[in-house]
Amino acid sequence: MTDATPDVLAERLDRLERENRRLKRLVYGALLGIAAVAVMGQAPSSIVRVFEAEKFVLHGPDGQIRAELGVETNGESALRLYPEKKGGKAELMLAVTADGQARLQLADDAGLPRAVMGHVAIVTTATGAVEERPSSSLVLSDKEGKVVWKAPQ
């Protein structure tokens, strides 16, 4: 560097400044590219997730069935909720019949309907058989299945 004249120093300084500008542009371009990829990866998916089945079954931590949502063989769509204890029958059922009539039913441990509200009345006959009859109603039954109160129609 003994022969460093002001002209040689100015040339070297210009070359270093050009290289510095090129390096800055390259770094800014790389950062912009990385940011674009990151933003594109965060875009919400336009895919609609659909789960289809004839029946969904929810099990508790003990493996027992706690709820079912499905279509019955008679065409009725029903949500059934079961008690925690083992071997219990459905205690609550919300159903829509094949012809579009809704029903809410509360049952006891034996599965006998104790309260039924809806267009399809569930009636326990003297023989103990359960019958469904088309009628708007609210019916309350005792533990033997006998009707103790029926809403006037």
- Structure confidence at residue 128 (pLDDT): 64
Locate tokens 């002001």: which residue? 6
The answer to whether 67 and 82 have CB atoms below 8 angstroms apart is: yes
In 3D space, the residue among 106, 107, 103 whose CA is nearest the CA of residue 119 turns out to be 103
The domain ranges of the chain are 1-49, 55-150
Q: What is the pLDDT of residue 2?
A: 56
List, for residues 20-40, the tens digit of each pLDDT value. 888 888 888 888 888 888 777
Q: Is the pLDDT of residue 93 over 80?
A: yes
> Which pLDDT does position 82 carry in this prediction?
85
Residue 12 pLDDT class (50, 70, 90 cuts): confident
Tell me what the mean pLDDT of segment 69-84 comes to: 86
Q: Is the pLDDT of residue 88 over 80?
A: no
Please say whether the dihedral angle defined by the alpha carbons of residues 84, 86, 92 and 96, taken in this order, is positive or negative.
positive
**Cβ 65 vs Cβ 59: under 8 Å:** yes
Residue with the bigger pLDDT between 2 and 51: it is 51
In whole angstroms, give the CA distance from residue 1 to residue 96: 95
| 125 or 146, greater pLDDT | 146
d(CA 79, CA 18): 73
Q: Yes or no: say if 54 and 70 are a contact pair by the CB < 8 Å rule.
A: yes
Q: Quote the mean pLDDT of the chain.
A: 80
pTM: 0.54
145: DSSP letter:
S
Note whether 103 and 120 are within 8 A (CB). Answer: yes
Indicate the SS3 state at residue 53: coil
In the chain, pLDDT over 90 holds for what percent of residues? 2
Give the 3-state secondary structure of residue 134: strand
